[in-house]
Structure 1
Amino acid sequence: MTLFLSMAAFALAMSISPGPVNIVALSAGARYGVRASMRHVSGATIGFTVLLIVVGLGLHEVLVRWQWLTLGIQLGGVAFLLYMAYNLARDDGGMPTAESSKGPSFFHGAAMQWLNPKAWLATVAGMGAFVANGDVWLLLQFALIYFVICYLSVGSWAVAGGFLRRHLSEPRKMRLFNRSMAALLAASAFYLLWTA
């Protein structure tokens, strides 16, 4: 039981802490509401879980052998985060109409995890800490624990954004919020680049 509690604690620490996916969930909750943001939350959770399983099944070995591939993933992820920060910063702050209130898509959330250097670090660290022996059954248990905790963690950021929504009804306030989130996203991208 202690191993599973350790897995859960690791998953919670990595999932609830600020990072690109959570910043987008917070921003989407504030801009589009919680319900529209759940596609992003679901996509991010499933995308991360699939990444965790793929890394656990052997992609980690490929990345260790071809370190240039790891660097390419990190640089591509940082570029993607900066692109998202740019788009968020230039947003006009207007609240979406009923027709345009779709929010980030499921695919966007999943792709974000695959391009997120923090997600790659979490998968590699998790594999090293809990499934280093390659036990597939243990990997699947870890993935299930992570799935539940990741969904609740990213979802809580979207809910927090939903609570902020009522305070951001003016375009000026939403612009300020979006630019603050863009600055955090850019800062996390530069931090991940610096630690790479």
Structure 2
Amino acid sequence: MSVLISMATFALASSITPGPVNIVALSAGVRFGFVASMRHVLGATLGFTLLLVLIGFGLHETLQHWPFLTRMIQWGGVAFLLYMAWKLAADNGEFSVEQSQARPTLLHGAMMQWLNPKAWLASIAGMGAFVADGQASLIWQFAGLYLVICYLSLGCWAYAGARLSHYLGSAARMRLFNRTMAALLVGCAVYLLVP
């Protein structure tokens, strides 16, 4: 039982702490409300869980043989973070009906996790710490725990954003919030580029 508690603690610590996916969940909650942002949350959770399972079953070994793939994932993640930051910074802060197409999607959330270096590090570190021998039953237990904890953690960020939206009623406040979130995403990207 203590291994499961350790796994759950690790999953909570890595899921609830700020990162690019959490920032986007917060922003989506502010912009589109809790229910709409939960598509992003579900996609990010499923994307991460798939990544975790694949790492557990040996994807990390493949990446060790071809380190350029890891570098490509890192650069793809940086490019995606900068794109997201640009979209947030360019937003005028006004709510309109036409913006319904820009609502978060399940696929967008999943893709973010696969381009999120924090997700890769958490997957590799978690599997290395708890399932180093590759025991299938432990991989599935860890993935099941992570699925629930990641979903709830990201959901908390989306909920916080939805609650925060009441204070961001004007376009000027929304622009300030969006640009702050954009700056945080740029900060995440810069952090990834520093060796």
TM category, shorter: over 0.9
Query: Is the CA contact 1:91–1:178 (under 8 Å) kept in the aligned structure 2?
Result: yes
Alignment of 1:75-154 (within 5 A): 75-97=75-97, 100=100, 103-154=103-154
TM-score (norm 1): 0.96
Query: Could you tell me how far 1:101 is from its partner in structure 2?
Result: 7.0
Where does residue 170 of structure 1 map in the other structure? 170
Where does residue 179 of structure 1 map in the other structure? 179
Where does residue 33 of structure 1 map in the other structure? 33
* Partners of 1:60 and 1:131 in 2: CA distance: 13
Residues 19-55 of structure 1: per-residue CA shift (max 9 Å, x gap): 0000000000001000110000000000000010111
State how many pairs are aligned.
195
Percent identity of paired positions between Structure 1 and Structure 2? 62
* Partners of 2:53 and 2:183 in 1: CA distance: 32
* Partners of 1:24 and 1:84 in 2: CA distance: 8
Residues 138-181 of structure 1: per-residue CA shift (max 9 Å, x gap): 00000000000000000000000001111111100000000000
Aligned: 1:71 with 2:61: no
Residues 106-132 of structure 1: per-residue CA shift (max 9 Å, x gap): 100000000111111111111110111
Query: Is the CA contact 1:38–1:158 (under 8 Å) kept in the aligned structure 2?
Result: yes
| Aligned AA (2:88) | L
Q: What are structure 2's unaligned runs of at least 5 residues?
A: none
Query: Is the CA contact 1:36–1:102 (under 8 Å) kept in the aligned structure 2?
Result: no
* Partners of 1:182 and 1:98 in 2: CA distance: 22
SS at match of 2:194: helix
Q: What are structure 1's unaligned runs of at least 5 residues?
A: none
Where does residue 22 of structure 1 map in the other structure? 22
* Partners of 2:176 and 2:99 in 1: CA distance: 24
Moved over 6 A (4+): none
